[in-house]
Structure 1
């Protein structure tokens, strides 16, 4: 039998109890009242749906007396399950069900309704107790898990700290605010050498180096008071257990309690003694000469500046700048090892010389030394000091049974401290030394302030000469070399002229002298030769067929690459090499300069003509004239001056010059002269037998574009 035809229990009011609209209205009112009693974390529609189901179960309980208790407990449990557990949720629910059921079904079902309400209350209470218990158990388990996790993390953290504290190579000490040791790690014992038991009677202040103790104690106090920095990081010295000092990198901080009050110090120590010593060694090497151990130029300059600040303003300082004479002979002849031994000996002897004085000895490099002396009453005068320097250096040093000695040229500058400036003193001493060296070996010179402006200008010009060459400040000028018999022009002699950026003009000889100081000697020679040869090509193309003569300095003439450079220039143009004449100084080809003599032969084979200048009539010079392919020789300027300045043409020195002419001719060459100023001088040299002359009498040097208009007219034309 289906549900629609099933027999109804006696007394059942099925149609009324199955009224869907009524059930829905009851569920809505129930939901509304529960919402005022507790928070139910469900949507309102869901709550109403659940309560509708519960109304169905309640009505079903009235139809099945045997299921009243079971359904009542089920309804109560469902209310707890849906979190309708507010303080008034149960009374509200029971009152609502009572009123709705009595009003709907009347008093006939009261007994059954009371059983149902009691069952609902019992089920609600049981479910609520179970829910509370579950929540308590859940909370207890959560708390237990949290505590276990915290304990595990704390244990892990303590283990990690213990591992770091024990194994780190950095020493760590925990002390109280008085500095007493609470705990130290093994590295602390290793770094400083103290056993932990020995530290119990000590404080950390006992480990401070005496020179750093005051600073460190104050720094610890400031950290504890919290008035300044939050931590200390610095390089300071500590004392090891054996009394030695240890350079350490200190990192100090404060451990505070939960109330924020300082409780302990944590001091970490990293041993940097070796690093400090290495850095100190590097600093020493940067400021001292490696060979002698003397201060180097940089350190000397620093000490000089400090002396000029700290010494009495009215006192005097004397600076001696020494250059050892002819030291290359020792290096070349006996070897650099012997030279180094002698350099070290010189250093020790100079220190010995100023022993007892307020003085500083330094090595500037190579063979140059310096001595700075604070002049006092007992200090010897400058000549005595210079004499003492060379007397000490003259005492032989015996190396391998050979006695070796040295001498020095000395530049001296004296200044009152109030008027001195360190860099100017060094410059002045260097200028004085160069002047002493120019005077010969074992000479000394006192800086002359009257010549200082001129010397400073010359030094500046030498320094900027490379830039001047690069910027096109140089020109090649030409002057005629004329035959004294009046037969005409022999050649145009090329020379240098420098119109400096400062507005001064330097001639050929001045340019060469400065080039030797600035290091552009060869660059200047190559530029001059290329420029002059190019100009010669243009003149020949215009029908002016002349020969070019190019005078060279000693360094330019003895360059081993001279012949190769000339060959490259000749190959760049289609012109007879015989149109080029190189005039080399005797100093470039004499002595052991065999490569320079070979260059003369190579150039002669190419067709380039060669002459020599600076001839003084020595036997060696005459021999070179015979051995080399040279067709002309130019008399030294000092011999020309002897003849020009002589009041009597028959004095012996003039006769000696006169006698050189046949000797030169006997060697197959012709004698030339320069510096001829007038016709009288030209006639004198003509009578002596000289063939070619140059000088103001025949024309001053001119630029290339003026050459065609200024060439002298041949004599008798």
Structure 2
């Protein structure tokens, strides 16, 4: 190209170079008329040579540029400055069929037949422009669903918040999380999971106005911007509509798929005056909706922020307590109904914080579950219980200890391996360890529970089905689960002497367990009349404050030694 610029060449060489060039070339005289066009330029413009020759160069330009271009040609010949490619932005030429082609252009001079002419080298940059557009699109959109990504959505959000403040009309932000999406991935595979997300995006888009903005934050989280509302109550109506659209079942690769979402709502300028805070508040409301499970949409409330700060403080203090060895296990004796002898104990976690005081498990366990701290916490409980079993064995005391497993622990794939390593580390018989899983968790996926329980049973540990009677067990599955014992929930035991229906229920559970060949443990026994009822109906074991609350290991050890010496007594 530069060899042609400002050069004098032979006509033969010029023709060869001119027609072989891959870029379009136009030779233009000082009046702006086209003298010659090479083959590439003819293809690019759609005009044959005879239609171009002698015509003003402006014929290839948009109409609004033609008058200005004539002056540019005159200035160009006066100054005679060459110009390289990429010096002009957003230039297009018009083709013969009326379409436009984005081009780049370089300019120079040469001598042709004794006169000085301008040489315009014109390059089709359609592929480059498409690549740039694709890059801009991918930078702003989610590659799977085509929705706006987090970055681009926040640009729309910031503008909407400012508009809401300016015009005095509210806007709302809806944050949606697909419930149990991991279960879909695990059950059907990630390809089906991806198609579910695409379908969720399609249904959400179908339920929104043209002015509404829909984005995907990542994973199974979607976000909706509702600008220019008349009242914030409209947001709840939209949330309910989206909830219904998502809940409608559909067939996907032969599977019947049903999706439910948790939706959190935050509004501006009522809740927050900036987009970042609004997203944080919508996220809090979404987690509140997830806790309520079937709520169609939950509005942010200031208490949620306070509760979040409290949970964060609990998490930080709990993590410190775990690292600093400030947690304790207490043990509640499990007692033979007939003999009154201690035959086991349930390990219960206790925490007294230097700043927060005594903190009940029902306050800090949910925090551990929601933050993932339940895994190291659960392993600490297992380790501590096994270590204590080993210490009692060293004293000549053999006692079975029950440890509660969270749903997250129960589902972790490496559970059996971790348990086997722990038992080996403390060299204790597996039969002295019993794991408790709630009936509700076991029956949420009975087949998965059966497989996990079989792995645990193969190690030799016992498995107790906890809180029995509070869930919805299928007897068909229950008889297949390798369970060692059933535990009747304290909610029923506490009222067996005042509510005949609860007494009948407890009696039926005991009879059912015996039919399945399973012993029964009754929790929460606090009064002699309750113990007498259990004895009458042949319940094997009980635990509760009637005999003892949960006590430190040393206290229970002393009681076991007294029992071994024939001097057993109940604890206050």
TM-score (norm 1): 0.60
> Could you say if the C-alpha distance between residues 277 and 651 of structure 1 is closer, same or farther in structure 2, counting changes exceeding 3 Å?
same
Distance 1:584 1:217, change over 3 A: farther
How many residue pairs get matched? 540
1:421 maps to which residue? Answer: 274
Aligned to 2:175: 321
> Paired residue for 1:14?
none
Which residue does 1:580 correspond to in 2? 433
Q: Structure 1 533/399 Cα, relative in aligned 2: closer, same or farther at 3 Å?
A: closer
3-state DSSP class of the match of 1:243? Answer: coil
The alignment status of 1:191 with 2:39, answered yes or no, reads no
1:271 corresponds in structure 2 to 124
> In 2, are the aligned partners of 1:625 and 1:669 still within 8 Å (CA)?
no
Matched, 1:659 2:507: yes
Question: Does 2:531 correspond to 1:686?
Answer: yes
Q: CA deviation at 1:672?
A: 3.6
Q: Is the 8 A contact 2:440 2:470 kept in 1?
A: no
Which residue of 1 is the match for residue 228 of structure 2?
Answer: 375
* Displacement of 1:238: 0.8
Deviation at 1:552, TM superposition (A): 0.1
- In the other structure, the counterpart of 2:3 is none
Among 100, 105, 108, the residue aligned to 1:245:
100
Name the counterpart of 2:554. 708
* Distance in 2 separating the partners of 1:539 and 1:508: 25
Partners of 1:683 and 1:637 lie apart in 2 by 15
The equivalent position to 1:566 in structure 2, one of 409, 419, 425, is: 419
Are the equivalent residues in 1 in contact too, given 2:106–2:121 (CA < 8 A)? Answer: yes
Residues 76-95 of structure 1 deviation map (CA, whole Å, 9 limit, x = unaligned): xxxxxxxxxxxxxxxxxxxx
Residue in structure 2 matching 1:472, options 323, 327, 330: 323
Contact kept? 1:248, 1:272, Cα under 8 Å: yes
**In the TM superposition, what is the alpha-carbon distance from 1:214 to its structure 2 partner?**
10
Three-state SS of the structure 2 residue aligned to 1:479 is strand
Matched residue SS, 1:441:
coil
How has the CA–CA distance of structure 1 residues 369 and 606 changed in structure 2, closer, same or farther, with 3 Å as cutoff? closer
Deviation at 1:587, TM superposition (A): 3.4
1:478 Cα deviation (Å)?
0.7
What is the CA distance between 1:556 and its match in structure 2?
2.1
Evaluate the alpha carbon distance shift between residue 188 and residue 324 of structure 1 in structure 2; reply closer, same or farther with a 3 A threshold: same
Alpha-carbon offset, residue 572 of structure 1: 3.5
**Secondary structure of 1:250's partner?**
strand
Cα drift, residue 695 of structure 1: 7.2
- Which is helix-richer, 1 or 2? 1
1:639 deviates by 4.4
Query: Residue by residue, what CA displacement relative to the aligned partner does 1:648-703 show, whole Å, maximum 9, x if unpaired?
Result: 942345535653674376353132425x8xxxx3556534437343679956676x
Q: How does 1:34-73 map to 2 (within 5 A)?
A: none
- Structure 2 partner of 1:670: 520
Q: Matches of 1:687 and 1:218 in 2, distance apart?
A: 110
Q: Match of 2:565? A: none
Q: Is the 8 A contact 2:492 2:506 kept in 1?
A: no
For residues 229 and 447 of structure 1, the distance between their equivalents in structure 2, rounded to whole angstroms, comes to: 63
If the length of structure 2 is used for normalisation, what is the TM-score? Answer: 0.72
The Cα shift of 1:303 comes to 2.1
**Offset from partner CA, 1:131-176 (integer Å, 9 cap, x none):** xxxxxxxxxxxxxxxxxxxxxxx88899877655543323344546
Task: State the partner residue of 2:344.
Answer: 490
Unaligned segments of structure 2, at least 5 residues = 1-6, 560-567
CA distance in 2, matches of 1:470, 1:184: 82
Q: 1:635 — aligned with what?
A: 488
Higher relative contact order, structure no. (Cα contacts within 8 Å, ≥ 6 residues apart):
2
Report deviation, 1:372: 1.6
Q: How many Å separate the matches in 2 of 1:382 and 1:160? A: 73
Partner of 1:481: 332
Cα deviation, 1:561-596, whole Å, max 9, x if unaligned, reads 433432233233432222322222223433653453
SS across alignment from 2:87: strand
Distance in 1 between residues matched to 2:99 and 2:313, nearest whole Å: 54
Say whether the 8 Å CA contact 2:170–2:232 is kept in structure 1: no
CA distance in 1, matches of 2:431, 2:248: 56
CA distance in 1, matches of 2:483, 2:431: 13
1:613 to 439, 444, 466: 466
8 Å CA contact 2:31, 2:73 repeated in 1: no
Report what 1:3 is aligned to: none
Cα offsets for 1:226-274 (capped at 9, x unmatched): 899976624423123232222223345x6599xxxxx875543321212
Structure 1 equivalent of residue 562 of structure 2: none
* Alpha-carbon shift at residue 317 of structure 1 (Å): 0.8
Describe the shift of the 1:550–1:222 C-alpha distance in structure 2 as closer, same or farther (beyond 3 A): farther
Secondary structure of 2:323's aligned partner: coil
Alignment partners' CA distance in 2, 1:487 and 1:217? 109
Structure 1 distance, partners of 2:21, 2:358, is 74
CA gap of 1:623–1:286, structure 2 versus 1, over 3 A, is same
- Counterpart Cα distance in 2 of 1:297 and 1:424: 15
State the Cα deviation string for residues 599-648 of structure 1 (Å, max 9, x = none): 445544544233221211668477777665645433336546xx3xx7x9
Instruction: Give the distance between the partners of 2:396 and 2:80, measured in 1 at CA.
Output: 96
Change (3 A) 1:566 1:332: closer
C-alpha separation in 2, matches of 1:341 and 1:388: 21
> How far, CA to CA, are the matches of 1:308 and 1:385 in structure 2?
19
Query: Aligned partners of 1:342 and 1:491: how far apart in 2?
Result: 47
Structure number with larger C-alpha Rg: 1
Instruction: Tell me, in whole angstroms, the C-alpha distance in 1 between the residues paired with 2:67 and 2:469.
Output: 79
Task: After TM superposition, give the deviation of residue 445 of structure 1 in Å.
Answer: 1.4
Q: Distance in 2 between matches of 1:181 and 1:504?
A: 91
Within 5 Å, which residues of 2 pair with 1:232-381? Answer: 233-241=87-95, 242-252=97-107, 266-289=119-142, 292-310=145-163, 313=166, 314-323=168-177, 347-355=201-209, 358-364=211-217, 368-377=221-230, 381=234
> How far apart, CA to CA, are the structure 2 residues paired with 1:402 and 1:537?
50
Determine whether 1:434 maps to 2:287. yes
Q: Is the 8 A contact 2:547 2:570 kept in 1?
A: no
The 3-state SS of whatever aligns with 2:409 is helix
- Partners of 2:71 and 2:527 lie apart in 1 by 93
Match of 2:21 among 153, 157, 168: 168
Distance 1:673 1:218 in 2: 97
Q: CA RMSD in A?
A: 5.2
